[in-house]
A and B are shown apart, each in its own frame.
Chain A
C-alpha cells in the first residue's frame, strides 16, 4: 500500500532535492511556490533532519520569542523567530511558537521537530521518505549537463540537483589513539557519567554542550583543543561558544574543577584498568600534561555526507568538508549542483570584519534557500521574478523601513542585501530586484543602483551599509548605529537620503 501513496517514483524531474531537514523543506517549498516541479527525497522516515536526533541534550541554541514587539505571523516577526520556515501561506507561518510550552525561549528538540513536521503538513509538501541516495552520475547531452541520482528506490534524472543533507556525519580525526574515544553522536545518557572523569576533545559548541549537560554528573571534566576558547558574547557574533553553554567556562575560571586546556592531543593510551591516559601538548606555551580519565569523547564536529560528489568533481574544503560554492550556493567546480541548508556555509560571503554569515543555522539558511529557489527558477526554468517599480520619492522611506524590519537583512548581515536598480527600460527609473547575495551584487552586478544591508563589525553595533553605484562607480556608505536598532528615525532617513542622492539625481523626471 505504501508504494502506491509514496510521491515521486523514480523517473525524471526538473529538480531533485535531497534531504528533508529545514534546508531541504525550505528550498522545496519555495521552488514549488514559484511553480517549479521538484521531487524531494530523503533517507529519513520523516521530516526534521538533524533535529530528529540532536542536540544531544534536547534543547536548541536558536530562539523563538512567542511574544515579540511585532505581531506573530508578520514578516517583521521572523526577526524574533529563528526556527519557523518561510511561506506566503498565512496558516503555515510562524509555527514554532505554537509548539512551545513557555519554559524557555529556546525550543526543545521535540518542539522543533514538531514545528518542521507541521510545516510540511500545512503546506502539503510531498516528500519521498526512506529513499536513500547512494550515488550520482553526470551525463552531458545536447541540452547540457543532466544528473542521475541513484537511490535505494531506483534512479532519478534531473536538470538541477539541490543537496541539503546537512553537516551531519560524525567526524573524528584519525591518529594518536583516537580509537579509544567515541564521538559526540555516541554519548550515553547523562546519568551514566555519575562520578566519572571525562575528557572532551573539542571546545566548540558541541563540546561545551556536553560539558554543560555533564556538570551535574561527571566528577571531573577536561576540555581541550589547540586554540583558545572564544565566547559569542565576546565576538558579538555566532562565532564562539554560545551563552547557553558558558557555564563550564565559568566553573573553570572560578576554580570549580572543570579544566579547559589550549592543547593538542599527543596520544591516548588505555591503562588496562578501564581508564585512559590522555597526553596533551600545550599550544599556549605551558608544559605538556598527562591526565587519567574514565571516558574520552570526541566533540570534533561533523562533516558533509556528500556520498560520491567529490569523485564527480565537487571540491570541498575545511574541517567540515564543505563543498566550495559560488555566491549562489552552486558548486564552484560542478555547475548544476547546488546546496541548501547548513551546507550553504560553504558560500562564505564577504566576511567583513571577520563576521560570518548565519548560513549554518536555520534562521540564516532559510533565506538562502528562498533566494536560491528564486535564482534557480529564473535562470534555469524561465520563471519571471517580480521587479516592482519604485517611485524615486519613496526610495528613502522604502530603504528605512526595510532596514528596520527586513528579516533577511537582520539574519544574514553583510551576506544578503536588497538591490534597487536603475532600469534603462524605464528611463533609468528604479526597480526592486529583491534580496540577493551581497557578494554577487558587488562583484557581478553591473547595473547602477543601491544595494543595502545591515552589518556588524564585532564592536556590538549593528548598522546599515549602503553600496551606491552611479555611472559604474561604487561608494560604500555606513549609517551611524542606532542604540535601539531603528533605522526609520529622522537621523537615519537623513543619512539614507544623503547616500542615495547621487542615484536620484539621475532618475528621469526628477
Chain B
C-alpha cells in the first residue's frame, strides 16, 4: 500500500509524466483512481465497451489477442488509450500476471485530460510512434 505522496514519487519517474511539475503530479494522483488487480485477473476485455486508460504503477500485465500473448507491460507502461481515442471496444484482453496496481482514468475523462495536459499528450504520441515503428519493422 502506498500513500498518495509515495504515488507522486512513483509516477514522477514515468516517461508519460516526465514533463510535469510536482503540483501537476499531485493533481494526477488525485484525479486518477488507484485500482489493484489480482494475479490472473482481467483488466481490459476484448470486445467489451466502456474501457478505461490505465497506467501501471506496480506489477506486470500481458496483452492477449484471441488467446495469444502479444506483449508484456510493466511499471510506467500504459494501455487502454487506443480504444478510447477511437471510441471502440478494446481489440485485446489485458491480464494481470502478478498483483498489479494501476492508476486509472475513465474513458469519458481522457479527452479533457489530454487537452489539459499537452505535454502528456506529446509523450503519449511519442510512445505511439515507437509502437508504430516497431510494428512497421516487424512487417518489413
Contacts and interface: CB of A to CB of B under 8 A. Distances in A.
Given A227-B31, A283-B26, A315-B99, A476 B106 contact: no
A205 to B, nearest CB: 15
A238 interface: no
Interface residues of B, number: 36
A226 B23 contact: yes
Interface stretch (B9-17, B35-43, B70-78): B35-43
Contacts of A474: 47
B27 interface: yes
Nearest to A459: B108
Given A315-B36, A476-B47, A354 B4 contact: no
A175 interface: yes
Interface stretch (A107-115, A345-353, A500-508): A345-353
B36 A317 contact: yes
A175 B36 contact: no
A316 B34 CA distance: 11
Contacts of A316: 1
A322 to B, nearest CB: 8
Contacts, number: 96
Secondary structure dominating the interface of B:
mixed
Contacts of A402: none
B1 A321 contact: yes
A457 B106 CA distance: 10
B107 A353 contact: yes
Contacts of A225: 30
A281 B48 contact: no
B108 A353 contact: yes
A318 to B, nearest CB: 5
B92 interface: no
26 contacts: A226-B27, A227-B31, A228-B31, A262-B27, A282-B23, A283-B23, A315-B99, A316-B1, A317-B1, A317-B36, A318-B34, A318-B36, A324-B36, A332-B36, A332-B41, A350-B48, A352-B51, A354-B52, A354-B106, A354-B107, A443-B41, A443-B42, A457-B50, A458-B106, A458-B108, A476-B47
Interface of A: 173, 175, 225-228, 262-264, 281-283, 310, 315-319, 321, 324, 326, 332-333, 346, 348, 350-355, 442-443, 455, 457-458, 474, 476, 478
The 4 closest A-B pairs by CB, nearest first: A354-B106, A352-B50, A324-B36, A283-B27
Given A353-B49, A455-B50, A458-B108, 9 more contacts: A175-B5, A262-B27, A315-B1, A317-B101, A318-B33, A351-B104, A352-B48, A355-B50, A476-B47
